[in-house]
Amino acid sequence: MAVRVLLADDQQLIRTALRMVMADLPDLEVVGEAATGGEAVALTGELDPDVVVMDIRMPGMDGIEATRRITGGAGDAITGGAGDARIVVLTTFDDDEYVYGALRAGASGFLVKDMALDDIIGAVRVVAAGDALIAPSVTRRLIQDFAGRTAPAGGRARRELTGITEREREVLTLVGTGLSNAEIADELCISVATAKTYMTRLLTKLDARDRVQLVITAYEAGLVSAGR
């Protein structure tokens, strides 16, 4: 079954370029387009896409607020199944504040508008598959910086992790350092399939949407420090 994609960007040229590329791919289907954040929220509720490619700077409601409403980052996820839609945010490396806001809102991936179209398509597939680390060298920096800003400090209590095994805690720690499933498997001398099984269990037990949320959880629980 093809991945259902909603394109949300106020630039018609970008939406058209992405639609044209995806039209030739059997595993991706563009089900709608939005020019504002408000339209993105409304169409997500109507069309129930798997992935929303979301611009941040749009007139009216911006992409961060739209992401929050779609994912339930503010406790108000769209009903009718659309709350499961994953968000890939369009941003620039210089706009880190937008990235942090998008992370808090529940985004699963980050793209730069001047990336090659093939890379953007690949990122959509990665997020649709339930992962979130698109460009490790970039996302590790962003997530670590984000986690360093939001990690427990001073009198703020660390997040308590209950219901997970010591092995799962070990895997979560490695996820927090930015390791891939293959790297985790090498580190723990287990198969990649076993590493994926642990990931699935952690996502379920910690009620995490994707890998980004697991990374943040690892920092919030004190398993990984911002400088690690």
Residue at token pair 């209950």: 162
Does the pTM surpass 0.85? The reply is: no
Domain boundary at 130, 162, 185, which? 130
178 sits in the region (left: phi over 0; alpha: psi -120 to 50; else beta) called: left
Q: Are residues 17 and 113 in the same domain?
A: yes
Domain extent for 203: 147-220
Label residue 44 by pLDDT band (50, 70, 90). Answer: very high
Model confidence pLDDT, tens digit, residues 206-220? 988 778 788 888 888
Q: Are residues 199 and 96 in the same domain?
A: no
What are the C-alpha distances in Å from 23 to residues 14, 17, 29, 87, 88?
14, 10, 7, 20, 19
Q: Using the 8-state DSSP alphabet, how is residue 104 labeled?
A: H
Residues 107 and 88 sit within 8 Å (Cβ to Cβ): yes
Tell me whether residue 137 is in a domain. Answer: no
Report the number of distinct structural domains present in the chain. Answer: 2
CATH value at residue 121: 3.40.50.2300
Model confidence pLDDT, tens digit, residues 10-21? 999 989 999 999
In angstroms, rounded to a whole number, what is the distance separating the alpha carbons of residues 109 and 124?
8
Q: What is the mean pLDDT of residues 116-125?
A: 86
Tell me whether residue 43 is in a domain. Answer: yes
Q: Are residues 64 and 156 in the same domain?
A: no
Q: Are residues 155 and 123 in the same domain?
A: no
Q: Is the pLDDT of residue 82 over 90?
A: no
Label residue 108 by pLDDT band (50, 70, 90). Answer: confident
In angstroms, rounded to a whole number, what is the distance separating the alpha carbons of residues 176 and 85?
23
Tell me whether residue 225 is in a domain. Answer: no
